[in-house]
Amino acid sequence: MPVKITVQEPLRKLLDNQPVVEMCGSTVGDIFRALRQRYPYFVERMTEPDGSVRRFVNVYVNEEDIRFLQNQQTAVQDGDEIRIIPSIAGG
Amino acid sequence: MKALKCRECGREYPLTATHVCEFDFGPLEVVYDYDKIKGALTRATIESRRKSMWRYRELLPTAGEPTVGLEVGFTPLIKADRLAKRLGIRELWIKNDTVNYPTLSFKDRVVSVALSRAKELGFTTVACASTGNLANSVAANAASAGLKSYVFIPSDLETGKIVNSLVYGANVVGIKGHYDEVNRLCAEIAGKYGWAFVNVNMRPYYAEGSKSMGYEIAEQLGWRLPQHTVVPMASGSLLTKIEKSYQELTKLGLVSGCNGSVPGAQRTGCSPISVAQTAGLDFFKPVKPNTIAKSLAIGTPADGFYALKVMKETGGAADDVTDDEIREGIRLLAECEGIFTETAGGVTVGVAKKLIASGKIPSSDSAVLCITGNGLKTLDAIMGHVGQPREIRPSLREFEAMLESENKSAISA
């Protein structure tokens, strides 16, 4: 069972409007590389040229921000969910 | 308003309910036709209008006349001589949003803009992720506008802030997690339901409402920009928008003087922006929030980068204070000026005190402190730290005995 990736509107159109995309890999970085194969535009837009995640994009493995884990080295297992969410304002 | 524009790459988008650039995922911001506004907006025009934030309506993002929160804003700017003396500065002003209408915090400014725009775009349900004040304001303003509302808050908020949302009939959802987790969930809910989430898909419009605090400060100072404006930081949005308001007033020729510094205030331990600023960094490290200043308990501040940039460009310092210093700040403002602020105001006063003491705000200068919320909402934070009433029976003899014993202990102390 691979890892599930979810993205919200309006960015979902970059993933062919699919609510969930599934990819295989053992770290977040692996998943991004796999995602880049199928959706190159999406990954190029959410990352800097050096491959780091852009500063306005938050990436979560299940419920945790990867910056509190091991960033793109964070290990993922079958059935985990990766959420990619642009940062939003305060309240 | 002309369009929405990505703050990172500058791409423009139509004026719809969207908040993120599809090319680099950067945040969108409203752009205006300043040349057109310059011809239409003069000091005399503004001064002839009613005293609310909407007297600057050309600089706020609605297509037509506002329909929600018409009485919001134009809160008092108080010359705080007694507090100035205690903090050791020549001149001090308090921008007092503890009495903002209708829910006693600066959030009424952003919500009246967001809901006016949401109605223009045809929404009937509004929502927000909130540390409390925003939830109160969305709940109240939605009720008066006849809109349905959902507000999402961390479930451990102060009782005052929870009751202050429930009473308006809002759907209040407590999330077992901190604000950044509430925010993440709301980003997902906003993507799934067709609601106007004021701080998600309505964010470009919502955030602009904060500028009205800066316009008012300048007008109330006699169309002059302050030397220093100390602003509490959670996401960092208010600080960036106050600075934007000063820039706009300058661009439109409405104020004299040059832009002063805009120092930022946070609570120690939940201070990713002030930590980065004092270390000279232009990026911050997210933290897990843990503070009594729950309205500022945001560990992943969305506008942190821009707040750092503004402080750097304006020469504004940043600092943070402990929970004890927050309570001291609340008491100082109350005892010197008769203003009861919530914990965020305690943070602002406490940080101003430190910046003045360290010379980062020179004692010969003039400063404005932005006090953004009312103390009646965060009684839990100060309860037990302001003494107890003395109880006596209804007897003059007992009263006099009490006074005498207190006088004696005061003399011996």
Query: Which of these, B380, B224, B365, lies nearest to B292 by C-alpha position?
Result: B380
- Tell me what pLDDT residue B121 has: 98
**B181: nearest CA in chain A?**
A63
- 3-state SS class at A77: coil
Residue numbers in A near B192 (CB within 8 A): 8
A65/B285 CB distance under 8 A: no
**Is B318 a residue whose pLDDT tops 80?**
yes
- Would B139 be classed as within a structural domain? yes
> Rounded mean pLDDT of chain A?
90
Beta strands in B208-355 (DSSP E): 228-232, 264-267, 318-321
The pTM of the full predicted model, rounded to 2 decimals, is: 0.94
| Lowest mean pLDDT across B65-74, B79-88, B154-163, B329-338 | B154-163
Do B55 and B96 lie in one domain? The reply is no
**Is B44 a residue whose pLDDT tops 90?**
yes
Q: Identify the band that residue B169 occupies on the pLDDT scale cut at 50, 70 and 90.
A: very high
Chain A residues at the B interface, defined by Cβ less than 8 Å, are 6, 8-14, 45-46, 54-58, 60, 63, 65, 67-68, 83, 85-91
- Tell me what pLDDT residue B39 has: 86
- Would B403 be classed as within a structural domain? no
Interface test with B, best of A8, A46, A57, A87 (most B CBs within 10 A): A87
What is residue B279's DSSP assignment? T
B184/A85 CB distance under 8 A: yes
Residues 6 or more apart whose CB falls under 8 angstroms from that of B112 comprise: B53, B54, B66, B68, B69, B70, B72, B73, B141, B209
Give the whole-angstrom CA distance, residue B294 versus residue B155. Answer: 11
- Tell me what pLDDT residue A13 has: 87
Query: Region B204-224: what's the mean pLDDT?
Result: 97
Residue B411, amino acid? I
Give the whole-angstrom CA distance, residue A31 versus residue A77. Answer: 11
Give the whole-angstrom CA distance, residue A43 versus residue B330. Answer: 47
Domain locations along chain A: 3-86
More reliable by pLDDT, B230 or B289: B230
- Would B407 be classed as within a structural domain? no
- Would B399 be classed as within a structural domain? no
- Tell me what pLDDT residue A91 has: 61
Do B20 and B97 lie in one domain? The reply is no
Kindly state the tokens that stand for A26: 């053992």
Query: Region A62-86: what's the mean pLDDT?
Result: 92
- Would B398 be classed as within a structural domain? no
A87/B302 CB distance under 8 A: yes
Do B25 and B44 lie in one domain? The reply is no
Write out pLDDT tens, residues B361-405.
999 999 999 999 999 999 989 999 999 999 999 999 999 999 999
- Tell me what pLDDT residue B128 has: 96
B107/A63 CB distance under 8 A: no
- Would B369 be classed as within a structural domain? yes
Q: Are B227 and B356 in contact (CB under 8 A)?
A: no
Count of the separate structural domains present in chain B: 3
- Would B191 be classed as within a structural domain? yes
Do B60 and B177 lie in one domain? The reply is yes
- In angstroms, what separates the C-alpha of B148 from chain A's closest C-alpha? 19
Do B201 and B162 lie in one domain? The reply is yes
Q: Which of B18, B135, B301 sits opposite A90 (nearest CB)?
A: B301
CATH number for the domain harbouring residue B234: 3.40.50.1100
Query: Which of these, A34, A28, A76, lies nearest to A53 by C-alpha position?
Result: A28
Euclidean distance between the first and the last CA atom of chain B, given in angstroms as a whole number: 64
- In angstroms, what separates the C-alpha of B129 from chain A's closest C-alpha? 6
- In angstroms, what separates the C-alpha of A8 from chain B's closest C-alpha? 5
Homologous superfamily of A3-86: Beta-grasp domain (3.10.20.30)
- In angstroms, what separates the C-alpha of A50 from chain B's closest C-alpha? 14
Per the structure, the complete domain to which residue B167 belongs is given by 40-70+104-207
The stretches of B89-231 forming alpha helices (DSSP H) are: 107-120, 133-145, 159-166, 179-192, 203-208, 211-220
- Would B136 be classed as within a structural domain? yes
Do B222 and B320 lie in one domain? The reply is yes
